[in-house]
Amino acid sequence: MLKYTQRTEAVLLLEDGTLFKGFAIGKKGTTGGELCFNTGMTGYQEIYTDPSYFGQVVLNTTAHIGNYGTVAQEVESESIKIKGLVVKGFSDSYSRQTATESLQTYLEKANIVGISDIDTRQLVRHIRDKGAMNVVISSEFTDLPTLQAHLKTIPDMNGLELASLVSTTAPYFVGDEKALFKVAVMDYGVKSSILQNMATRGIYCKIFPAKTTFDEVAAWNPDGYFLSNGPGDPSTMQYAIASTKKMLESGKPLFGICLGHQVLALAAGLTTYKMHTGHRGLNHAVKNLRTGHCEITSQNHGFAVKGEDIANNSNVELTHLNLNDQTVEGIRLKNYKAFSVQYHPEAAPGPHDAQYLFDEFLELMQQ
Amino acid sequence: MPRNTAIKTVLIIGSGPIIIGQACEFDYSGSQASRSLREEGIEVILINSNPATIMTDSVTADHIYLLPLEKKSIVEILKKHQIDAVLPTMGGQTALNLAIECEKAGIWKKYNVQMIGVDTNAIRTTEDRELFRQKMIELGVGVCKGRTANSYLEGKEIAQEIGFPLVIRPSFTLGGTGGGFVNKPEQFDNALKHGLQCSPMHEVLVEQSIVGWKEFELELLRDKADNVVIICSIENFDPMGVHTGDSVTVAPAMTLPDTVYQKMRSLAIKMIRGIGNFTGGCNVQFAVNPATDDIVAVEINPRVSRSSALASKATGYPIAKIAAKLALGYTLDELKNPITKTTSACFEPTIDYVIVKVPRWNFDKFKGADTTLGLQMKSVGEAMGIGRSFQEALQKACQSLEIKRNGLGADGKELTNQAEILHSLEFPSGGRLFHIYDAFKLGIAFKTIQKLTKIDKWFLQQVEELVLIEKEMGKYQLDTLPKQLLLAAKQKGFSDRQIAHAMSCLESAVNKHRNDLGIRRVYKTVDTCAGEFEAKTAYYYSTFDGENESHPSDKKKVIILGSGPNRIGQGIEFDYSCVHGVLAAKECGYETIMINCNPETVSTDPDISDKLYFEPVFWEHLYDIIQHEKPIGVIVQLGGQTALKLAEKLHRYGVPIIGTNYESLDLAEDRGRFSDLLKSLSIPYPDYGVIEDAEQAVELGRKLGYPLLVRPSYVLGGQSMKIVINDQELEQHVVNILNEDPKNRVLLDHFLEGAIEAESDSICDGKDVYTIGIMEHIEPAGIHSGDSNALLPPFDLSENVINQIETYTKKIALALNTVGLLNIQFAVKNEKVYIIEANPRASRTVPFICKAYQEPYVNFATKVMLGEKKVADFTFNPVKNGYAIKVPVFSFNKFPNVNKELGPEMKSTGEAIYFIDDLQDDYFVKLYEERNLYLSR
């Protein structure tokens, strides 16, 4: 049976009025959010379930999506977190023998609306030049006024606090209770592979809701603190910045990833800003300035730490640098046992080059 | 870490003559490396015995040595030059082997030469199957069960241990020579004996067979600081069991989830770090068990390869260029991505399109060859298609092959015999891809096709869908065809011709219809980064999508047509001419636009032309580019018969042809009219006639007198040419030819027995003619010019004969109104010169003469074609010392059962140049004495 004959048309409208016509994928309906593109050629399921993408419409630049289906365990959280999906070629059938269901079924079950067969490259080049913007996708409405009205309901990502929305509502544990070290994980939208990376290194994690007070967390008496990745504008997270300062004062090791890195930077007196289009992909080269070694990293962020601020702050050391645009990729606090990276050492999806950072965190606790 | 400034001169070793398994990809890597080193102010000395290469050209290196790739030659060079370092990783296995030989002999040490980009211990580990296995086990990398055997008995013992099916891999052989699968015990003895014989050290690996597992390759780059990046992942459409050089391959990997891919990536990095210390390119091959996602390492090659050339063209990331810089001591983070020019070279390219490579075989040249594909590479070339989908890329690659197909399917040439199809699915030969299409079309069950081919379901579904589209189109007439269906067909790569076939209408009608509907090609950039950063390199492919990124300039511009995939009779020498054509047109101030689809070539290096369209050299694609770019004309003389054949249509569509016009090109091809022309010029030619059936053939044959040369009227590289000596042979061959192509006509020439063959190449501007060289064949007439040894200049032709050759060359060049190059083949008998044929284009011998005489004749000819210069504007100063011998090189060892007899059909895959001072030279004397023996290799 030929797919194209039975396919539903769909449209995508950008904030600046640019319109694309394609076909509906996933659930039929309407959705919207900030459009961001990910240049990775693998790992769609991990991307879609990554809580850092909460509220965003993801565009995969790779030519084919869906080829290898989905597998229940290759997820970064219990559900799909993206708001919508934009792809070029969509396969509703798959070949992987160990897969459990097709991407189409997987998206449909999660009520995710998407669009395929549009010129995704044109769209990428468009937002590369014009900057990140909101977008609406619909397979229900094609008339401009309705689409525009929907667009207006989508909030601006700048100044948006989202971490507490994806955070766990009750604490839970990962790892071996008898492990040597206990780490308190502040869940701003933590990816499960971060927890797995700690658990396999003999760390017992207790995952706390984002807004848990420092006293409550400290009462568990952890050996170290971890600030997780997550969505939204870090500068809105006063609650997290305040408790991070107290964690630092406790003198215990602290490690932050992505949003957690930005929170640590803010707690250390640095500032953050919204990037033009952000970094999202599996191929970003980062130089470790302490070793001189380069690593290929998995990235997903639309905000970043201001580089100039580090030069003016004698307590912060720049440890990792992006080789493409010289943005801040990692810092270390000179007067505390605290460090953080903007990228994702846990990968999933992406290269495993930077997993040594979990070892370094462990070493800090062993000291 | 800046580069090692102690290195001021570098020797690059080339790969020698083209053979199966080692082709022009090493001209591409060598040329890139040389240019890359010269950018750093390094003096480059180059050795290669292959004259048809760009790397051995003065535009590429500072000092060039066209010498045999032997220790003696290296010593000769080292005596003349103070060389600081040798880079042996750019010339394939040949260069590596020579470098290791020199190392063993202490030559590098004696002359204080550092080897760069290589670790000889690592090479040993990778080439010795047992060392490789041990190393992998030590690194914790999965490998197949198996062991090496140094004797027949040992081999039998191992087989008993691991059971069948198993695989035999001889150590230290090129392109899998001598290897094979053994499914049953009774096949084992012969396979083992053969394997042991093929290995120079009498050693084979007997290993568990993983036929049917998914096969992948990763292309890596590593620097001195041990930074490693993966440039490209390549997935083989054909699973384990078919040599990767004979497999349809796809990039990026299509069916790998991130979990498995990252595991593979980490293993590859572990392997490159584990086998030794070297910088530069490296290729790692893996197999994945489709049922469990388990990975085993198959092999690792610590050098640039055919796959790295493919990966460079697939991603835009120039692996050899960067590898050369890394060999000098740069680290990746110190270099810029040459495509974006702003971002770092330390990154992993990501692409938003798909490339498919399809191999090109030439089994027709090797009658009696075992055409089954296996561990040993048998293809002679390859074509790459780029598209926004796998299907589009696949169709484009098939359109590029020039095997008289218009793409995959929908051309009425399907195989419909069920038994034959089923056999082909299970025992892959060159046509399997097409037969998969045919199988779906015939209605063979998906499960059966998958069971027999073991090809991943996703790939098979893609092919199946193409069949469904073809069938669906067949339900309509062009005017009732839904636009959505037509657009889908175009987006999935169907050519207008294929659609026309499905709709039973004319190609031109489809073309007009789709253009009227606004279904037109746009051009997208190959930019290494999926659009994330702006690209500065004009490297494009076409697709049917929204935005066009190739904006034509208003400069005067010219299109140079490439020669497509390599095949016997048309290979690297045409790439050489195309590159020179581009450079010459640039010198004259033209914007140059290159169109070609062969990923191994220098002409498809985006650094060469102002704009590169990596597209099939196929009418539809060409015409769309012409309409988009509006060039002043198209150069068809440099891309061999492939480009020349398109002249007719260009002419018909009113597109100017640069240089010799279409009427003359056609006149030279049309035997009848051409002979009339010769007659009017009083130039002798062998008696001939044209026939359409066997009846006429015998009648005419008797009239002309035996022996006769029999051939179809349009041929390439002497295809289907044969010398017959009686009625029976004549009839047989004529029936064969007409059976293959019933519309063709057959030419019968009286064969001048015992004649000597010679050929001339000349440049003509319509008024003046300059003969750039005359070559005399050593073997008597009857052997294809490509297969014969030949001397430049002639060694025993009388002045009288040479005068005739020169006079005829001039007369014919002028009579054909040649503007550009002309090659003429002669037969000389009893002091009388006969014309065999005239080719109004760059020939196989032009690069040879350029190298021997050290003058850029293609450059001159291109300027003449463009009307920028006249022949009289050039001062010709050929360097004429002694003689240059053109030595044909064969790849018969890949086809053990093939008749090695030479004849009018070309069989050599490459050539070497050998200089001698005088005719007393031992090499020449031997060649000359044995000239009559050469009928059989």
Coil vs helix vs strand at B197? helix
User: What DSSP line would sit under B74-104, residue for residue?
Assistant: HHHHHHHS---EEE-SSSHHHHHHHHHHHHH
Residues of chain A with C-beta less than 8 angstroms from the C-beta of B547:
119, 121-122, 125
Is B350 close to A120, i.e. CB distance below 8 A? no
Residue tagged active-site, from A258, A284, A295, A320: A258
Domain match, A278 and A206 both: yes
Is A2 close to B469, i.e. CB distance below 8 A? yes
Residue A194 in domain: yes
pLDDT at B718: 66
Residue tagged active-site, from A261, A284, A301, A344: A344
How far away is chain B from the Cα of A173, in angstroms, using its nearest Cα? 24
Q: Does A170 touch chain B (CB under 8 A)?
A: no
What residue of B is the nearest CA neighbor of A6?
B484
Q: Tell me the average pLDDT of chain B.
A: 94
Q: Does A7 touch chain B (CB under 8 A)?
A: no
Residue A187 in domain: yes
Distance (Å, whole) CA B576 – CA B597: 15
- The model's pLDDT over A8-30, given as tens digits with 9 standing for 90+, comes to 999 999 999 999 999 999 999 99
Domain match, A139 and A175 both: no
pLDDT at B715: 62
Q: What is the mean pLDDT of residues B503-516?
A: 96
Task: Check if the beta carbon of residue B889 is closer than 8 Å to that of residue B19.
Answer: yes
Q: What is the mean pLDDT of residues B301-319?
A: 96
- The maximal CA–CA distance of chain B, rounded, in angstroms, is 79
Domain match, A216 and A143 both: no
Residue B935 has pLDDT above 70, yes or no: no
- Interacting residues of B10 by C-beta distance below 8 A, sequence separation 6+: B37, B42, B43, B44, B45, B83, B84, B85, B86, B87, B116
- The model's pLDDT over B470-493, given as tens digits with 9 standing for 90+, comes to 999 999 999 999 999 999 999 999
- The model's pLDDT over B610-627, given as tens digits with 9 standing for 90+, comes to 999 999 999 999 999 999
Coil vs helix vs strand at B311? helix
Domain match, A222 and A137 both: no
How far away is chain B from the Cα of A308, in angstroms, using its nearest Cα? 21
Measured CA to CA in angstroms, residue B128 lies from B131, B268, B618 at distances of: 5, 18, 43
Measured CA to CA in angstroms, residue B156 lies from B148, B159, B170, B192, B857 at distances of: 11, 5, 15, 8, 59
Burial B135-153 (b: 16+ CB within 10 A, else e): bbeeeebebbbbbbbeeee
Distance (Å, whole) CA A317 – CA A332: 5
Identify any residues that bridge with A74 across adjacent strands, giving them in sequence order.
Answer: none
Range 44-103 of A in CB contact (< 8 A) with B = 45-46, 61-64, 67-68, 71, 74, 88-89, 91, 93-98
Task: Determine if the peptide bond prior to B165 is cis (ω within 30°).
Answer: yes
pLDDT at B741: 78
Q: What is the CATH number of the domain that holds A244?
A: 3.40.50.880
User: What DSSP line would sit under B716-782, residue for residue?
Assistant: STTTT-EEE-SHHHHHHHHHHHHHH-TT--EEEEE--TT-EEEEEEEEEESS-EEEEEEEEEEEETT
- For the full predicted model, state whether its pTM sits above 0.90: yes
Helices (H), B358-505: 390-400, 418-426, 432-442, 446-453, 457-473, 483-491, 496-503
Any idea which of B276-290, B855-869, B920-934 has the lowest mean pLDDT? B920-934
pLDDT at B936: 52
What domains are there in chain B, each with its CATH number?
A: 9-116 (3.40.50.20), 145-208 (3.30.1490.20), 214-349 (3.30.470.20), 390-519 (1.10.1030.10), 523-658 (3.40.50.20), 687-750 (3.30.1490.20), 756-935 (3.30.470.20)
Distance (Å, whole) CA A51 – CA A191: 7
What residue of A is the nearest CA neighbor of B491?
A117
Secondary element (H or E) of residue B584: helix B572-587
User: What DSSP line would sit under B19-47, residue for residue?
Assistant: BTTB-THHHHHHHHHHHHHHHTT-EEEEE
Domain boundary among the residues A152, A177, A193 is at: A152
| A276 φ/ψ angles, rounded to the nearest 5 degrees | -60, -55
Distance (Å, whole) CA B904 – CA B13: 34
The DSSP letter of residue A51 is G
Secondary element (H or E) of residue B612: strand B611-614
Measured CA to CA in angstroms, residue B648 lies from B596, B661, B914 at distances of: 19, 10, 38
Rg (Cα) of chain A, in Å, rounded? 20
Task: Check if the beta carbon of residue B180 is closer than 8 Å to that of residue B167.
Answer: yes
User: What DSSP line would sit under B847-903, residue for residue?
Assistant: HHHHHHHT--HHHHHHHHHTTS--GGGPPP-----SEEEEEEE--GGG-TTS--B--
Distance (Å, whole) CA B197 – CA B491: 50
- The model's pLDDT over B402-419, given as tens digits with 9 standing for 90+, comes to 999 999 999 999 999 999
How far away is chain A from the Cα of B200, in angstroms, using its nearest Cα? 40
Distance (Å, whole) CA B866 – CA B448: 56
Please name the member of A1, A124, A287 whose beta carbon is closest to the beta carbon of B333. A287
Helices (H), chain A: 44-48, 103-109, 120-130, 144-152, 163-166, 192-199, 214-218, 238-249, 259-267, 307-311, 356-366
Scan for tokens 């070559």, then name that residue.
B775
Domain boundary among the residues A133, A152, A171 is at: A152
Q: Tell me the average pLDDT of chain A.
A: 96
SS3 content of chain B, % helix, strand, coil (to 5): 40, 20, 40
Rg (Cα) of chain B, in Å, rounded? 27
Residue A143 in domain: yes
Domain match, A26 and A130 both: yes
Residues of chain B with C-beta less than 8 angstroms from the C-beta of A293:
225-227
Residue B113 has pLDDT above 80, yes or no: yes
How far away is chain B from the Cα of A20, in angstroms, using its nearest Cα? 9
What residue of B is the nearest CA neighbor of A284?
B347
Domain boundary among the residues A152, A184, A219 is at: A152
Task: Check if the beta carbon of residue B611 is closer than 8 Å to that of residue B540.
Answer: yes
Is A121 close to B547, i.e. CB distance below 8 A? yes
pLDDT at B781: 87
Is A62 close to B252, i.e. CB distance below 8 A? yes
Positive or negative torsion for Cα B890, B896, B901, B904:
negative
Residue B183 has pLDDT above 90, yes or no: no
Q: Does A350 touch chain B (CB under 8 A)?
A: yes
Residues of chain A with C-beta less than 8 angstroms from the C-beta of B550:
none
Closest CA to B806 of B761, B741, B857: B761
Between chain A and chain B, the number of residue pairs with CB atoms below 8 A apart is: 175
Domain match, A141 and A286 both: no
Distance (Å, whole) CA A54 – CA B707: 82
Helix axes B662-669, B671-680, angle to 10 degrees: 90
pLDDT at A1: 41
Task: Determine if the peptide bond prior to B359 is cis (ω within 30°).
Answer: no
Residue A1 in domain: no
Instruction: Examine the residue annotation and report whether A346 is marked as an active-site residue of this protein.
Output: yes
Instruction: Examine the residue annotation and report whether A352 is marked as an active-site residue of this protein.
Output: no
- The pair of structure tokens assigned to B676 is 């009339």
Q: What is the mean pLDDT of residues B887-892?
A: 93
How far away is chain A from the Cα of B331, in angstroms, using its nearest Cα? 10
| B145 φ/ψ angles, rounded to the nearest 5 degrees | -65, 140
Residues of chain A with C-beta less than 8 angstroms from the C-beta of B255:
67-68, 95-96
Domain match, A167 and A133 both: no
Measured CA to CA in angstroms, residue B647 lies from A117, B147, B456, B579, B674 at distances of: 37, 57, 41, 20, 18
Domain match, A254 and A301 both: yes
Domain match, A359 and A271 both: yes
- The pair of structure tokens assigned to A313 is 């702050």
Q: Does A358 touch chain B (CB under 8 A)?
A: no
The alpha carbon of B759 is separated from its chain's Cα centroid by a whole number of angstroms, namely: 25
Residue B243 has pLDDT above 80, yes or no: yes
- The pair of structure tokens assigned to B196 is 């042991």
- The model's pLDDT over A124-135, given as tens digits with 9 standing for 90+, comes to 999 999 998 999
- The pair of structure tokens assigned to B758 is 């010679």
SS3 content of chain A, % helix, strand, coil (to 5): 25, 35, 40
Please name the member of B227, B257, B549 whose beta carbon is closest to the beta carbon of A96. B257
Task: Check if the beta carbon of residue B556 is closer than 8 Å to that of residue B589.
Answer: yes
Domain match, A35 and A131 both: yes
| ipTM field | 0.97
Positive or negative torsion for Cα A32, A33, A38, A41:
negative
Domain match, A135 and A98 both: yes
User: What DSSP line would sit under A181-226, residue for residue?
Assistant: EEEEEEESS--HHHHHHHHTTTEEEEEEETT--HHHHHTT--SEEE
Q: Identify from A92, A279, A294 which residue to disrupt to test chain B contact, counting B C-beta atoms within 10 A and taking the largest count.
A: A294
Please name the member of B257, B456, B545 whose beta carbon is closest to the beta carbon of A119. B545
Q: What is the CATH number of the domain that holds A138?
A: 3.50.30.20
Secondary element (H or E) of residue A16: none
- The model's pLDDT over B250-278, given as tens digits with 9 standing for 90+, comes to 999 999 999 999 999 999 999 999 999 99
- Interacting residues of B746 by C-beta distance below 8 A, sequence separation 6+: B690, B691, B692, B697, B710, B711, B712, B713, B734, B737, B738
Q: A245: burial class by Cβ within 10 Å (0-12, 13-18, 19+)?
A: middle
Residue A36 in domain: yes
Residue A291 in domain: yes
> To 5 degrees, how large is the angle CA B424–CA B719–CA B657?
110
Identify any residues that bridge with A21 across adjacent strands, giving them in sequence order.
Answer: A11
Scan for tokens 């390119």, then name that residue.
B281
Confidence of residue B743 (pLDDT cuts 50, 70, 90): confident
Closest CA to B164 of B181, B150, B147: B181
| B359 φ/ψ angles, rounded to the nearest 5 degrees | -70, 160
Distance (Å, whole) CA B355 – CA B386: 5
- Interacting residues of B742 by C-beta distance below 8 A, sequence separation 6+: none
Residue A188 in domain: yes
Residues of the domain holding A94: 6-152
Confidence of residue A290 (pLDDT cuts 50, 70, 90): very high
User: What DSSP line would sit under B496-527, residue for residue?
Assistant: HHHHHHHHTS-HHHHHHHHHHTT---EEEE--
What residue of A is the nearest CA neighbor of B261?
A42
Residue A239 has pLDDT above 90, yes or no: yes
Q: B276: burial class by Cβ within 10 Å (0-12, 13-18, 19+)?
A: middle
Q: B351: burial class by Cβ within 10 Å (0-12, 13-18, 19+)?
A: buried
What's the domain count of chain A? 2
Domain match, A145 and A234 both: no
Distance (Å, whole) CA B4 – CA B235: 37
Residue A158 in domain: no
